[in-house]
Homo-oligomer: A and B are copies of this chain.
Amino acid sequence: MHLFDQAIHLKNQNGRLWGRTSAAYANMVGPFGGVTAAAMLKGVMDHPDRLGEPLSQTVNFAAPVQAGEFEVQVRPLRTNRSTQHWLMTLEQDGQPAATSTALFARRRETWSSTELAFPDVPPMDAVKRLSNDALPPWPANYDIRFVKGTPTFFAPIQEEKAADSETVQWVRDDPPRPLDFLSLTAMCDIFFPRIFFRRRRFMPVGTVTMTNFFHVDEKFLAAFGDREILAVARANRFGLGYFDQTAALWSQDGTLLATSTQMVYFKSS
């Protein structure tokens, strides 16, 4: 089993869903948030009453997930003809460490158009892979190649500030794994904190909430395979102890797969 599937695996014991944190996907404090989000979404994907496929998910990170077991609770709050609303929690010691809502929908072919511009980038093969040397464990599960914004923030603090925090990176599971809604969810969080790029230094940070929108359906993903994804992220505003991040995930040939926004705490004067 792929380490990602182990990290989001939920064991069903008499209707209760139990997961276990994965050392391979550990971050600075607790697990990589993308895996926490994916584990909660998996609770719905596996649910016998699920209707349709993921359209959106919001995850609120309420406390660090401790190493070990956790319980995922999922509950359909409302089921309509073509949409379904879910509430999920990830609990440890009877306290929620994360809460989430998700909207599932029956998708159908309609008029379509992409307004967001696909960036002009070199192919993945032409870009050097990020070394995982000074990083926490989780990025080693991805082949990450920076087209714009190579991380330099684990080096000694540099005085020069970046003009903006935009980064562009190629991403693929390593070892390869066919893309699905669960790995796409995790990849919505595959970005290093914007403030690290902007200020070119490391500081304590933590994502407190993330919302992902899915722009493709199961049929598209089933045919996608394990091809690379282009992941673009920027910040709109830093201030009052938080900054936001806006991200777009693309296929190599310019299909917008998902968009994501998050708010991130930062500790700095």
Contacts and interface: CB of A to CB of B under 8 A. Distances in A.
Contacts of A217: 240
Given A113-B238, A114-B236, A239-B110, A209 B56 contact: yes
Given A55-B263, A115-B164, A213-B263, A101 B242 contact: no
Given A115-B164, A208-B83, A268-B111, A101 B235 contact: no
A234 B85 contact: no
Contacts of A58: 58, 101, 209, 211
Interface in A101-117: 101, 103, 105, 107-116
A101 B99 contact: yes
Given A109-B240, A110-B268, A244-B259, A78 B62 contact: yes
Given A111-B269, A211-B211, A259-B261, A80 B63 contact: yes
Given A55-B263, A87-B87, A261-B211, A238 B60 contact: no
B261 A108 contact: no
A238 B111 contact: yes
A95 interface: yes
A182 interface: no
A113 B239 contact: yes
Given A60-B101, A110-B269, A113-B198, 16 more contacts: A55-B242, A56-B208, A56-B263, A58-B58, A63-B80, A77-B96, A77-B99, A105-B265, A107-B240, A112-B238, A113-B238, A115-B234, A215-B237, A215-B244, A246-B259, A261-B261
Interface in A43-61: 55-56, 58, 60
Interface string A222-255: 0000000000001111111110101010000000
A101 B101 contact: yes
Nearest to A108: B241
B99 A85 contact: yes
